[in-house]
Amino acid sequence: MVTIKDIAKLAGVSHTTVSRALNDSPLIPEGTKQRIREIAASVNYTPNFNAKSLVLARSFHVGLFFSTLDKGTTSGFFHETVTGALSVIKDRYHLIVNAIDSYGGAYGSVTPQSFDGIIVMSQSHADESFIRYVWEKRIPLAVINRRAEPLPVVNVLSDDEAGVFRAVEHLIGAGHRRIAILEGKTGFQSSQNRKNGYLRAMAKHGLDVPQPYQVAGDFDLESGYIGMQQLLACDPLPTAVFCSGDELAVGAMKAARSRGLSVPGDISIAGFDDNAFSAFVSPALTTVKRPVVSMGRLAAEGLLRALAERRQTVETIRVPTELIVRESVGPAPTP
Amino acid sequence: MVTIKDIAKLAGVSHTTVSRALNDSPLIPEGTKQRIREIAASVNYTPNFNAKSLVLARSFHVGLFFSTLDKGTTSGFFHETVTGALSVIKDRYHLIVNAIDSYGGAYGSVTPQSFDGIIVMSQSHADESFIRYVWEKRIPLAVINRRAEPLPVVNVLSDDEAGVFRAVEHLIGAGHRRIAILEGKTGFQSSQNRKNGYLRAMAKHGLDVPQPYQVAGDFDLESGYIGMQQLLACDPLPTAVFCSGDELAVGAMKAARSRGLSVPGDISIAGFDDNAFSAFVSPALTTVKRPVVSMGRLAAEGLLRALAERRQTVETIRVPTELIVRESVGPAPTP
DNA sequence: GCATACGATGCACACGTTAACAAGAACTGA
DNA sequence: TCAGTTCTTGTTAACGTGTGCATCGTATGC
Structure confidence by residue, pLDDT tens digits, A190-211: 899 999 999 999 999 999 999 9
pLDDT in tens, B15-66: 999 999 999 999 999 999 999 999 999 999 999 999 999 999 999 999 999 9
Question: What gap in Å lies between CA A37 and CA A29, rounded to an integer?
Answer: 12
Binary contact (B96, A96; C-beta < 8 A): yes
| E strand intervals along A236-319 | 240-243, 268-270, 287-289, 315-319
- Helix, strand, coil percentages (3-state) for chain A, rounded to 5, are 40, 15, 40
pLDDT of B313 over the 80 cut: no
Percent residues over pLDDT 70 in chain A: 99
**What is the signed CA dihedral for A199, A325, A144, A76, rounded to 10 degrees?**
120
Mean pLDDT of chain A: 92
Is B99 in the A-facing interface, judged by CB distances under 8 Å? yes
Report the DSSP pairing between strands B94-99 and B61-66: parallel
Mean pLDDT, rounded, for B189-200: 94
How far are the Cα atoms of A131, A152, A301, A314, A320 from residue A149, in angstroms, in the given order?
11, 7, 20, 11, 20
Is A114 in the B-facing interface, judged by CB distances under 8 Å? yes
pTM for the model stands at 0.87
Interface of B with A in 296-325 (CB under 8 A): none
Percent residues over pLDDT 90 in chain A: 77
Question: What gap in Å lies between CA A166 and CA A323, rounded to an integer?
Answer: 7
Min mean pLDDT across A184-188, A289-293, B6-10, B316-320 is at A184-188
Confidence of residue A16 (pLDDT cuts 50, 70, 90): very high
Burial class (CB within 10 angstroms; exposed 0-12, middle 13-18, buried 19+) of B150? exposed
Question: What gap in Å lies between CA B49 and CA B72, rounded to an integer?
Answer: 36
- The sign of the CA dihedral B299, B303, B308, B311 is positive
Confidence of residue A72 (pLDDT cuts 50, 70, 90): confident
Q: What string of H, E and C letters represents the secondary structure of B63-131?
A: EEEECCCCCCCCHHHHHHHHHHHHHHHCCCCEEEEEEHHHCCCCCCCCCCCCCCEEEEECCEHHHHHHH
pLDDT in tens, A89-139: 988 999 999 999 999 888 988 999 999 999 999 988 888 899 999 999 999
The pLDDT, as a whole number, for residue B69 is 92
Backbone φ, ψ for residue A261 (5° rounding): -95, 145
pLDDT in tens, B65-79: 999 998 878 888 999
Q: What single string gives the DSSP state of each residue in B281-303?
A: SSSPPBEEE--HHHHHHHHHHHH
Which has more confidence, A147 or A214?
A214
Confidence of residue A59 (pLDDT cuts 50, 70, 90): very high
Rounded to an integer, what is the distance from CA A297 to the centroid of its chain?
Answer: 10
Set of chain A residues whose Cβ sits within 8 Å of the Cβ of B70 = 83
Alpha helices, H only, B90-243: 128-136, 160-173, 189-204, 221-231
Question: What gap in Å lies between CA B136 and CA B131, rounded to an integer?
Answer: 9
Mean pLDDT, rounded, for B153-157: 92
- Nearest to residue A22, comparing CAs of A8, A57, A307, A9? A8
A160-290 belongs to which homologous superfamily? Response regulator (3.40.50.2300)
Residue spans per domain, chain B? 4-46, 56-157+291-319, 160-290
Question: What gap in Å lies between CA A24 and CA A21, rounded to an integer?
Answer: 5
Residue A25 CA to nucleotide D13 C1', Å?
A: 20
Min mean pLDDT across A140-154, A289-303, B29-43 is at A140-154
HSE value, Cβ hemisphere, 13 Å, CA-based, for A249: 32
Mean pLDDT, rounded, for B235-252: 95
The pLDDT, as a whole number, for residue B190 is 87
Residue B318 CA to nucleotide D25 C1', Å?
A: 60
Binary contact (B95, A97; C-beta < 8 A): yes
Q: Do domains B56-157+291-319 and B160-290 have the same CATH topology?
A: yes
Q: Is omega for the bond preceding A291 within 30 degrees of 0, making it cis?
A: no
Binary contact (B97, A80; C-beta < 8 A): no
- On whether the CB atoms of residues A242 and A179 are closer than 8 A, the answer is yes
Question: Is 3.40.50.2300 the CATH number for B56-157+291-319?
Answer: yes
Question: What gap in Å lies between CA B99 and CA B66, rounded to an integer?
Answer: 5
Q: Which residues 213-242 of B interface with strand D at a CB distance below 7 A?
A: none
Asked whether residue A56, judged by its CB, lies under 7 Å from any atom of the DNA or RNA strand D, the reply is no
Question: From the CA of A329, how many Å to the nearest CA of chain B?
Answer: 17
Question: What gap in Å lies between CA A107 and CA A130, rounded to an integer?
Answer: 8
The pLDDT, as a whole number, for residue A335 is 66
Binary contact (B98, A95; C-beta < 8 A): yes
Confidence of residue B335 (pLDDT cuts 50, 70, 90): low
- DSSP conformational letter for A178: S
pLDDT in tens, B176-193: 999 999 999 988 888 999
Question: From the CA of A41, how many Å to the nearest CA of chain B?
Answer: 11
The pLDDT, as a whole number, for residue A270 is 97
Is B277 in the A-facing interface, judged by CB distances under 8 Å? yes
